[in-house]
Amino acid sequence: MGKKQVLYPRFLDFMVQCGALLFGDFTLKSGRKSPYFINTGEYKTGAQLARLGDFYAKLIDNSVRPENEWGGIDEKTELQPRTELNDKIKAAFSVLYGPAYKGIPLVTAASAKLAQNGLDLNVSFNRKEKKDHGEAGQILGYIPQNGDKIAVLEDVTTAGTSVRETIALLESLRIEARISALYISVDRLERGTGGKSATVELAEKYGLRVHSIATAADVVEYLENPTLSALQIPDAAKHAANIRAYLKEYGAADR
């Protein structure tokens, strides 16, 4: 796993304001009944996507900083020169990959922000269906090459399915490219196929580093502590209790 990130209440405020973080009763793809739901399909405006790109770019910056040099998500800290920070990111990976479909706007927004910061990375994404005309192929944008190190951008990881699908897709290209990092909005901290969390399982099995802007535990703390939120969230304490109960049943022991 990557270094533990600090709590980002402003990001959770942003998600709630955009309708991307919802509380209630939801059925997940896994069939589990969840008291909260994350849907990045609710980012609907250019301004929202620009801010989302800022958050992801900041997460990527912080993932290569020494722990004592982290800045808050909206804090303009330049304890390292920008060029030095960009060099560290490029050493970690040179390709940003967004799994279809929700990963596509994430990788687009984040790559645009990083380019504004002077770091121009290759961008790839896939189509879910195979195409037998035109350029064919399943990967669009930059086609990964031998030796590439790739960072995957996702909205949320529950079981790690899309990462495994991405690895299988890269293997089908018969090239020596690998995923070195995974960046996500929220780590749900749920068990994977064993007792460990899905993100820990992915990190251990594939040798990648996982970084999240927030975790399910952060969401609970955000709901329970009114000083962390700039918003009035109805029934916040009830939602926090429901998420705690959910994590007790489905959460990983290593969270």
CA 97 vs CA 13, 104, 131, 169: distances in Å:
26, 8, 19, 12
Q: What is the DSSP letter of 253?
A: T
In the chain, what's the furthest Cα-to-Cα distance? Answer: 55
φ/ψ of 13, rounded to 5, equals: -55, -45
**Peptide bond just before 142 cis, omega within 30 deg:** no
Q: Which of 131, 149, 211, 248 is catalytic?
A: 131
Q: Could you give phi then psi for residue 212, rounded to 5 degrees? A: -125, 145
Cα separation, 69 vs 12, in Å, equals 22
Closest CA to 94 of 67, 78, 114, 73: 114
Q: If you write DSSP's letter for every residue of 179-241 in order, what string do you get?
A: EEEEEEEEE--BB-SSSSBHHHHHHHHH--EEEEEEEHHHHHHHHH-GGG-SS--TTHHHHHH
Note every long-range contact of 46-49, with CB atoms under 8 Å and residues 24 or more positions apart, other chains counting. Answer: 48/18, 49/105, 49/108, 49/109
Helix (H) or strand (E) segment spanning residue 84: helix 82-92
Catalytic status, residue 211:
no
Q: Which of 33, 133, 196, 238 is catalytic?
A: 133
Whether 133 sits among the annotated catalytic residues: the reply is yes
| Pairing outcome for strands 139-141 and 33-38 | unpaired
Active site residues: 131, 133
